[in-house]
């Protein structure tokens, strides 16, 4: 099958014909119908996350079940599915402690570029190619753990389903599960990319009175305001926190959601949050980066700083909630989709993302 393979950081992905093994015990072979190109793919491909190579990137995807391995009961061939990039085992300490996105088994699998048993189904046995987050959707086919398959209603376009597989769930959940925005709250969303735009929509849907979109790219203002932001402010403005305070009774926002992965933006999100407010960090920073905040004021500020990964809740439940909101016309997801291009244009798509072209590019591998 055709797949985009990352063999060297800093170089274009190569479209190669690679072997893919049959799905094993509780594994599923999925034909990829749509794969979004997410900032996390870009960070990995540019060498910022220190992943082992080679690997097939892509983690925001939807497709159709082609074949199932032994012991699979959740899906059948022909089922449309959205793929979770954080499947979980259900048995480990964190799964039992209601933190499925921290699953130990998944953590081990993802760190080794494998599936549940730590081995890969991609490439020849003597030179395996790693999976990426148990998905690897920059390819015609993927073998994934059964728990990574989430059944889709048949009327959901694959491109929309792919978006829900990462950006929507990450932004929506950061607001709903981690910040826990209440009606009348004020929210700042720092970074209006794929995740940020969904945090804005979720904040508006939760009844936030003030939703301040923060981004250094003025081209993103229109989309932010159309998605429910009440204000847009330049993230590079020297008086950024003062502007935010001016819109929030001089106090700062109740919640700031940071999605850029830049430590300076994280510190900015902290600065614009009111005392006893919450700062939710979603963006993935490069390896070695540290977050600096003024230490002396921290205890007295009573601020909470929370890490948020894949929406911070139970992704499968969030995905079903998001699907029902989308079908009810309460979440506008179609407008977030940019170009839809064949797999062969994956390197163009990465460059568009890097240069801030608005809209999520969707790869169509089949
Ligand atoms: Zn992603
Ligand atoms: Zn687990």
CATH number of the domain residue 86 falls in: 3.90.180.10
Owning domain of residue 51? 2-152+333-364
Residues in the 5 Å CB sphere of ion ligand 2: 88-89, 92, 95, 103, 105
Q: How far is the centre of ligand 1, averaged over its atoms, from the C-alpha of 36 (Å)?
A: 8
Q: Are residues 176 and 84 in the same domain?
A: no
Residue with tokens 């395996």: 128
Last residue of a domain, one of 307, 324, 342: 307
Domain assignment of residue 158, yes or no: no
Q: What is the mean pLDDT of residues 5-27?
A: 96
- Parallel, antiparallel, or unpaired for β 304-307 and 273-281? parallel
Same domain, 179 and 271: yes
Q: Are residues 42 and 115 in the same domain?
A: yes
Where do the H-state alpha helices sit in the chain? 39-45, 93-96, 104-111, 158-163, 169-173, 194-205, 221-226, 240-246, 263-271, 298-301, 315-327, 346-354
The verdict on 146 and 9 lying in the same domain is yes
- Over residues 88-115, the mean pLDDT reads 96
ipTM summary value: 0.98
Residues 303 and 343 in one domain: no
Residues 245 and 106 in one domain: no
For residue 312, is it within any domain? no
Residue in the structure block whose two tokens are 């999925």: 30
Same domain, 16 and 94: yes
User: What ligand has the least distance to the C-alpha of 90?
Assistant: 2
Q: What is the largest CA-CA distance in the chain?
A: 63
The answer to the question of residue 49 being in a domain is yes
Domain count, the chain: 2
Q: Is residue 218 located within the same domain as residue 261?
A: yes
- Of 177, 170, 225, which is closest to residue 199 (Cα–Cα)? 170
Q: What phi and psi, each to the nearest 5 degrees, are found at residue 352?
A: -60, -45
- Work out the mean pLDDT of the chain and round it to a whole number: 97
> Ligand 1 centroid to 341 CA: how many Å?
18
The conformational region for residue 359 under phi > 0 = left, psi -120 to 50 = alpha, else beta, is left
**How large is the average pLDDT for residues 38-66?**
94
Domain termination site, one of 292, 307, 322: 307
| CATH number of the domain encompassing residue 229 | 3.40.50.720
Q: Is the same domain home to 176 and 294?
A: yes
Ligand with smallest separation from the Cα of 309: 1
Residues 142 and 222 in one domain: no
pLDDT tens-digit series, residues 106-165: 999 999 999 999 999 999 999 999 999 999 999 999 999 999 999 999 999 999 999 999
Let me know whether 145 and 223 are in one domain: no
Q: How far is the CA of 70 from the centre of ligand 1 (A)?
A: 29
Domain boundary among 307, 323, 341: 307
Can you tell me whether residue 319 is helix, strand or coil? helix
Same domain, 245 and 120: no
């Amino acid at each position: 099958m055709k797949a985009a393979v990352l063999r060297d950081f800093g170089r274009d992905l190569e479209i190669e014909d690679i072997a893919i093994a049959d799905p094993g015990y509780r594994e599923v072979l999925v034909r990829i119908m749509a794969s979004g190109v997410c900032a996390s793919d870009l960070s990995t491909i540019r060498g910022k996350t220190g992943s082992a190579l080679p690997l097939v990137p892509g983690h925001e995807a939807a497709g159709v079940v082609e074949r199932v391995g032994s012991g699979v009961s959740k899906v059948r061939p022909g089922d449309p599915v959205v793929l979770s990039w954080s499947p979980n085992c259900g048995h480990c300490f964190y799964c039992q402690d209601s933190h499925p996105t921290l699953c130990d088994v998944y953590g081990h699998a993802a760190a080794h570029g494998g599936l549940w048993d730590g081995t890969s189904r991609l490439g020849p046995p003597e030179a395996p190619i790693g999976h990426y987050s148990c998905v690897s959707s920059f390819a015609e086919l993927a073998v994934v753990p059964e728990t990574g398959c989430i059944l889709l209603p048949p009327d959901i376009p694959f491109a929309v389903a792919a978006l829900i597989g990462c950006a929507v769930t990450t932004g929506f959940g950061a607001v709903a599960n981690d910040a826990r925005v209440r009606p009348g709250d004020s929210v700042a969303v720092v970074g209006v990319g794929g995740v940020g735009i969904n945090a804005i929509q979720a904040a508006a849907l939760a009844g936030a009175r003030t939703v301040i979109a923060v981004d250094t790219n003025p081209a993103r203002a229109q989309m932010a305001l159309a998605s429910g932001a009440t204000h847009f402010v330049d993230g590079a403005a020297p008086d950024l926190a003062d502007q935010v305070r001016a819109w929030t009774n001089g106090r700062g926002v109740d919640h700031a959601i940071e999605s850029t992965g830049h430590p300076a933006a994280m510190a900015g999100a902290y600065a614009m949050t009111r005392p006893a407010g919450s700062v939710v960090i979603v963006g993935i920073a490069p390896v070695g980066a540290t977050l600096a905040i003024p230490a002396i004021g921290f205890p007295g500020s009573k601020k909470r700083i929370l890490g948020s990964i894949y929406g911070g809740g139970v992704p499968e439940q969030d995905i079903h909630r998001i699907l029902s909101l989308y079908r009810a016309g309460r979440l506008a997801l179609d407008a977030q989709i940019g170009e839809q291009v064949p797999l062969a244009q994956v390197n163009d798509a990465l460059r568009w993302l890097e240069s801030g072209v608005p809209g999520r590019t969707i790869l169509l591998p089949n």
